Chain A
Amino acid sequence: MSSSPIADLLVPPEAVITVGAPTLDEALAAQGVTTVPVEWRPPPAGSVAAVAAVTSDPRLVPANRMAIERMTAVRPRLVDVRPAAGLVGIGRHQLLHAGPPVDWDTATGPMRGAIIGACLYEGWADTPDAAEALAASGAIELAPCHDHASVGPMAGIVSPSMPMWVLEDTDGRASRSTLNEGLGKVLRYGAFGEAVTERLRWMERVLGPVLASALRRHGPVDVGSLIASMVAMGDEGHNRNRAGTSLLVRALAPDMVRAVDGGAAGHRADDVADVLAFIDANDHFLLNVVMGAAKLVADAGRGIAGSTVVVAMARNGTEFGIRVAGTGDRWFTAPAAVPDGLYLGGFGPDDANADIGDSAITETVGLGGFAMAGAPAIVQLVGGEVADARTWTELMYQVTLAEHPGWALPPLGFRGVPFGIDVLRVVRTGMAPIINTGIAGRVAGTGQVGAGLVHPPLDCFSAAVAALAALVEAPR
């Protein structure tokens, strides 16, 4: 019997992986060896030393394994709907917003529009002009949703009166997200005014309470399983939530009906019917729930020294920001790009704002753009061919460390979605994550103008690798 562990080296190799000079690959092919050439390109010149340092970190592999294990172990359950004020502790003149920190001066149209809309809704101002003056005066305190275990799509504005979804993991950790307002002129896309305020009030008065009592009667909804089902049904959980929305309604409808004659806490039959009609008219209704679940999953990976896993990707309409497991609460930001996509009605690229919203938390956990192979219909919304959808998912396996064990893609033979974005692999391959997103109008008050694909700027990832390199202790 062989005692040498490398005895398997001393046989003619069936296949050889080559990275670098094509001459060496060709020489092997001429000898009848199957070669697997890597399409290699160097990382940016400024990142070479940092990439090597992080690669040499002895904590890298175990830390990433721990991050993936913790994140995939999360079992998000939808437990309640409650007003934001009590949940996240915000009060008068305090708002949460999407993405990394931003202030009024640097905020772009949709973010400003949503702030104005929130001031009108909360009654902090009577007119848009007054709201704008209030915000510009610095009187409105802004903080990222992400810092309050929360997420919100597009502008992601959370004001004290808004109802929010509450999700919990089995270990008691919680996350929250806003309720989805539907499409068209809505606050999250930066629209404001009578209709927007009216809808937000109805959501506060009717939608939130009906959902809350239905959920309390029903008991927790297992969102992890719900995501698995919807992915198997052709949703990717970011820009396509059709199947998932239907599944949630199917689960909650009986308890909504029961709430009609629920005594003192009961709801009017018309209200419940309105709620069901509202959800029926909004294919994206479940998005915010998926985002809350994704936030719960991603947060499980935070604060693991040495880990290169991305735990948040978010945009505030001005900057794109990412957070990484091994670098604490630090944001790595760069100017956000304008998505490339299809436009509604008479809108075009000139009307588009830069990328915005916390919804890239779905891609952070392998959904959205990462799960496109399972949602081929998405190309009708974001552009491209069906084959592109599959290609994007396959490419994302190359920048992730694992596959989610529960969220399987039928077209890929039930392979799990690409999970656990590795900043090191992003920088090494030069391949930024793919994000399916809505496109907001540039001018405050416009609303949605389209949907498409966008990438985070690579500079966010290079900066994260540089920060991780600075934290590598032992010289290699």
Chain B
Amino acid sequence: MNGVASVLVRDVLTGPVRPGSVVAAGRAATYLDVDGRLVAVVAPGGVRLPCAVVASGDGLPLAAGPDLAVGDGAVHQDGRRVLSVRRWFDPRVRLEAGVDPAAVARFAALVLALGRADPLLPAHAAERLARDLAAGDAWDAAARLLGRGTGLTPAGDDLVAGALAALRALGSPAADDLGAAVRALALVATSRLSAALLEAADVGAVVPEAAAVLRALAGAGGLAAATDRLVALGHTSGWHLAVGLLVGVSHAQGPRRRSGDGIRWESTDCVTGTPVGGGGA
């Protein structure tokens, strides 16, 4: 079977064949730890995570179990190549020319009109993340949010990952502080998969659905369709990622905004998901 893989795990995949241990497995993906690096082996049509090798045939190429290995351009099971990499993709996004403020306002309206709640997240999480970034308190923001929420990628991690990736994509200096905090805290605060995704966000790498939103904010492609696709990811993951992107993009846009024309974060209650209408410039 053939597959496509992220350039972020290229060194692991093209290096010598090394055994991997399964850290988590589901119907859509198997997550392997290869000498401390996480590689997601994703079924066809699954989410193209920044640490993934995605199969392009039919069905998940491996049964979760022992005797899995990675290297020499392939994933191996029981000594056989079960998934050969036939293309590399680069999940990193760079928006040197910046974003269109009008598009950001539209994005805010689109995202805030769709509420997704996570009961384990602190109240007004997005608003506080935005405020912490503005105050230069990246460490506090990361410490309060990482690992908070349900699932393999907790909602708090999604928020932070979105914000961090957006800051990196736009070359914002705030990315360095948040990135350092995330790297220091992620491995102890959250799941292995989530930590890997946060690490990817620190180099501006995101799932293609989020990348499409960032590019649309820079004027390439349809924003509404891209937003819909991102928000549709996972149970609440896509929406929290979207809110994170919005926080990051808004911060990177800087203080050019006049007071009062910013995003009304108070309407973004990630605990109840309501009320969510309005927002925008």
Contact = CB atoms under 8 A, between A and B. Distances in A.
B87 interface: yes
A30 interface: yes
A1 B100 contact: yes
Interface stretch (A4-12, A175-183, A300-308): A4-12
Interface in B196-244: 208, 212, 215, 218-221
A30 B54 CA distance: 11
Contacts of A31: 2, 4, 56, 86-87
Interface in B24-54: 44, 54
A155 to B, nearest CB: 54
Interface in A19-46: 29-33
A30 B1 CA distance: 9
B139 interface: no
Contacts, number: 38
Contacts of A33: 56
A29 B219 contact: no
Is chain A's interface secondary structure helix, strand, loop, or mixed overall?
loop
Contacts of B208: 12
Interface residues of B, number: 21
Contacts of A170: none
B97 interface: yes
Contacts of B220: 2, 7-8, 11
Interface in B108-146: none
B2 A30 contact: yes
Nearest to A9: B220
A347 to B, nearest CB: 50
Nearest to A31: B87
Nearest to B89: A12
Contacts of A8: 220-221
A12 B90 CA distance: 9
A430 B252 CA distance: 56
Interface string A54-90: 0000000000000000000000000000000000000
B204 to A, nearest CB: 15
A12 B208 CA distance: 10
Contacts of B3: 32
B220 to A, nearest CB: 4
B98 interface: yes
Given A29-B56, A31-B4, A32-B4, A2 B87 contact: no
A333 B25 CA distance: 66
B86 A1 contact: no
A167 to B, nearest CB: 43
Nearest to B215: A11
B219 A2 contact: yes
Contacts of A12: 89, 208
B56 A2 contact: no
Contact of B56 (A1, A7, A11, A30): A30
A250 to B, nearest CB: 44
A109 B161 CA distance: 80
Q: Which of B44, B54, B98, B221 has the most CB of A within 10 A?
A: B221
Interface in B44-75: 44, 54-56
B4 A2 contact: no
A422 to B, nearest CB: 28
A32 B100 contact: no
A12 B44 CA distance: 16
B2 to A, nearest CB: 5
Contacts of A2: 97, 218-220
A1 B4 contact: no
Nearest to A6: B220
A93 B8 CA distance: 87
A29 B87 CA distance: 11
B10 to A, nearest CB: 16
A1 B97 contact: yes
B7 to A, nearest CB: 12
B56 A32 contact: yes
A18 to B, nearest CB: 16
Contacts of B215: 11
Nearest to B3: A32
Contacts of B89: 12
Contacts of A1: 97-100, 218-219
B219 A30 contact: no
Contacts of A11: 212, 215, 220
Contact of A30 (B44, B86, B99, B218): B86
A1 B99 CA distance: 6
26 contacts: A1-B98, A1-B99, A1-B100, A1-B218, A2-B219, A2-B220, A7-B219, A7-B220, A8-B220, A11-B212, A11-B215, A12-B89, A12-B208, A30-B2, A30-B56, A30-B86, A31-B56, A31-B87, A32-B2, A32-B3, A32-B4, A32-B44, A32-B54, A32-B56, A32-B87, A33-B56
Please give me the 10 A-B residue pairs with the lowest Cβ-Cβ distance, nearest first: A32-B56, A31-B87, A32-B4, A1-B219, A7-B220, A30-B2, A2-B219, A30-B86, A2-B220, A1-B97
Given A2-B218, A29-B56, A32-B55, 6 more contacts: A1-B218, A11-B212, A12-B89, A32-B44, A32-B54, A33-B56
Interface of A: 1-2, 7-8, 11-12, 29-33
